Amino acid sequence: MEIQIGHYLALAALLFGIGVAGFFLRRNILIQLMSIELMLNAANLVFISFNRWMPENHLGQTYSFFVIAIAAAEAAVGLAIVISFFRLNKHVDSEKASLLKN
């Protein structure tokens, strides 16, 4: 069977779905951050696949670089928040992080 764009997209959708599920079902902020990374990488995979499918202007590759950069920034800020959150509360349970309620 020849691997076609649909397969790539299906894989990306699967990854994205795992990410979404992880983000919404887990309560550990670290795991949730990892799920976000997973979603970003799924998006990357889509970009790369479409670049393969339409390689004339490398738009997909360019965008995937942007996504990587943003993911790096997001990881830096997110981890910093998680660390200071942990220092304050001695846990990383996102369900208990409701300081801004109401």
Partner 1 sequence: MELIFSFENTVPWIILLPLLGALINGIVGRKSSRKVVENIAVGAMALAFFLALFSFGYIWILDGVVIDASVLKEGGVQKVSDAFQITFQSPIKGILGIQSALWQPIEGIRIIIEGGAIQLSPSLDGGILQQGALITSHIYEWFSLKFYEFQVPVFIRFTMDALSALMTLVVSGIGLLIHIYSKGYMSEEKSYARFFTYLNLFSASMLILVLASNLPLMFVGWEGVGLCSYLLIGFWWENPTYAAAGKKAFIANRIGDFGVLIGMFLLVSTLHTFEFSEISRLASLANDAGGQALSAVDSKRIATLISSFQLGPLALGSVATLACLFLFLGCSGKSAQIPLYVWLPDAMAGPTPVSALIHAATMVTSGIYLCCRLSNLFLLSDTAMMTIAIVGSLTALLAASVALVQNEMKKVLAYSTVSQLGFMFAAVGVGAFASGFFHVFTHAFFKACLFLGAGSVMHAVGAHGDADMRKLGGLRSILPKTHWTFLVSCLAIAGVPLTSGFFSKDEILLGATRLASTSQSHAWVGWFVFVVLVLAATMTAFYMLRLYFRTFSGSYRSAQATSSETDQQETSHEDHDHGYAAHPHESPWTMTVPLAILGVGAVIVGYLNLEPLHIHFNAWGDWLKPVVRDVQGGATWAPLVAMVGGFSAMAIGIGTAWVLYKGKEKDILPDLIPARLHALMMNKWKVDELYSAVLLKPVRALAGLSATFDRIIVDGVLTKLSSTIVKLASYGVTRLQTGQFTAYGLVLLLGVFFVTGWFVYPHPVIEKTEIKGANVRFVAAQGMGYQYRWDFEGDGEYDTPWGTANTALHRYSGKKFDHIALIAGPKNEKVALHMSKPEALPVSPQHARIVSPGVFAVLKDDGVLIRPNGYAIRLNGRMIKKEEVLVRPGSKGFVAGYPFKVVAIVSPKLTVKNVFGNLNHETVELEVMPSGDRRSPARKTKARISRVDLSRESIQVGHQHK
Binding residues vs partner 1 (CB under 8 A): 20, 23-24, 32, 94-95, 97-102
Alpha helices in 1-102 (DSSP H): 5-25, 29-53, 59-89
- Output the smallest distance, CB 100 to partner 1, in A: 5
- Output the smallest distance, CB 52 to partner 1, in A: 20
Output 87 or 101, the one with its CB closest to partner 1: 101
User: Residue 97, class by beta-carbon neighbours within 10 Å (0-12 exposed, 13-18 middle, 19+ buried)?
Assistant: middle
Tokens 């990357």 belong to residue:
44
Output 56 or 95, the one with its CB closest to partner 1: 95
Length of the chain: 102
Output 65 or 77, the one with its CB closest to partner 1: 77
